[in-house]
Chain A
Amino acid sequence: MDDLPLQKIQISGPTLASLLQRFSSSPGDVDGLLFGRVTHIAATTFADDDPTTTVAASSSFDSPTLIATITSFICSNSNSTFYDSAGRLNLLSLRRICSDNQTLSLLGWFSGRRKTPLRPSMRESAVTSSLSSKIQFAFQVENSPKSYTLSPCVFLLLTTPFHDQLIHTHEYRAYQFRLSTEFFEPKTLDVVNIGPAFRGHYGAFCPNSQFPMLPCELRVSSSMAEDGNCESESLKSMKRVSEDQRVLDMYAEDFDVGRLNRLIGSDAANYTGELEDMYKKMLAKLEGLARLVEKSSARVLEQENHNMKLRCRVAGLE
């Protein structure tokens, strides 16, 4: 594992907004994990001097410019989810949470606590130092000419101002924990938003949910019916077709797999119309998923209220 400094930490606007919303709507303190990627930015140093004085270039090679980008997070509405009171990690639950996010690396974690000073606490220091020393969560730096691995060393701290203010409601600071010095180095947190000014930043972003690879040429199964030998083959092809349809149904609502071949090749005269149609169906699918999420959220809320009552009873607050 390499102990390299990050130049800065980026987070997308919606992710930060979502994080702040989870924090402000939770009744108590929250914590969770941060996912994303670390990319290497090639530092361009153009020197007019002769090539023998490329010492400067090689030194920039030794300390590469790394930028961490936070693209998603997992937040549990409580604290101490993957560690215990003494700050020791619960590796089992950590692995379980991380297994759902295979494409993204675990960059670090965050903690939100109301009306407290904006500096790491005793337990947060212990958890961060434990987390950043775990080799099994180390990940590769992307876009890098040399191979670098980093451990999850990013810590994002969210608090609220001590006295209720109308000017700002939240404060946050991002740190990188350096193993060599055991020091929390504050880093600037850049918020990347949509818009023409930020287009260049989106180079570090790539889709989490890519459209699946599906065949666009499909033989209609009825032409196979005459050839008895091809019965087993037609069964196989039917199975494959239904499999592909099932995959497509995950992304679009009621879009027949057979229409895909109208998007390319000789039948693609009406391809814009077909694409728009598919897009409409994809949006419909999203709407359906959103409704499902709403329903399950309501049930989660019910359960959480029930849990809260039990907790209050244990605390003797009734």
Chain B
Amino acid sequence: MNEPLLQVSDLVKHYPVKRSTPWEKKRWVHAVNGVSFEVGRGETLALVGESGCGKSTVGKTLMRFHEPTSGQISFDGQDLAALSRSELRKMRRDLQFVFQDPYASLPPRNTVGAIITEPLEIHRVGTAESRRARAEELLDLVGLRPELINRYPHEFSGGQRQRVGIARALALEPNMLILDEPVSALDVSVQAQVVNLLSRLQRELGLSYLFIAHDLAVVKHIAHRVAVMYLGRIVEIGTTEELFANPRHPYTQALLSAVPVSDPTLRGQGERIRLIGDLPDPVSLPSGCSFRTRCPIATDECAVELPLLTSVPEVPAATAAACIHATQPEVAR
């Protein structure tokens, strides 16, 4: 893991708020406000946070489904934000996306075979026969019977459709997948299958994942590193082990404490940090730290300055947290 595959620095995405009259002042939804991270080859970085934190927007902006407002995205040495349309199309071979909702993301009128061969057709890979053979191979790879190639998406269950979506994303042999909540729409008994499939594919194909999710237990299981987002900013980032064991940002702490216990016998144990109030309006962000309006340890200073992600030099394994009150991990540990 020398040179990171994906490097994102200071990514910003603002949407204009629809004005009801032309003379109204133009206002912006601050969806992503300066996000920086790296994903190494063969690594899984999870982007976690609650709805409205901008995690999905980051993923979609990386795919250039939306144009970034500003920031640099370097993928495999290329500056994604500067690519022309045709260069962008070529780049898409290496960076693919898996959607959350397997019911909405497959074209309903096409057979599974047509869906999986479509990327090959677009990039003119192989002949019709070789593409079909490749589709059967891909079905097998994601754990579906190749005989199902002539079936339509509506005949499949959610988990099976998600496998089709993954097969389509893998058709062009990408280096990296952006997975936007890939298991959260699936039945519980099926989620584990898809999580296992993703782990196996990463092992076998050496893929990098940007795993966007809100389910912390799944993230803990699958990710190597985790970035926690709140209101369009990363508030804490670090290795999975360290972040779950020693969360330093109060938001990460609150998030972890809110996860339901895994066993009834653990009920009531562990300190619960209950956040008060609602997410602030992303059109007018709070001054200073965005989290201060709901933070249990906020002080007056928090309104003054935007805290930057800072790591602890004495503890190399520690996470970087964007909080002036970030709990310091014990140096000698």
Q: Real complex partners, A and B?
A: no
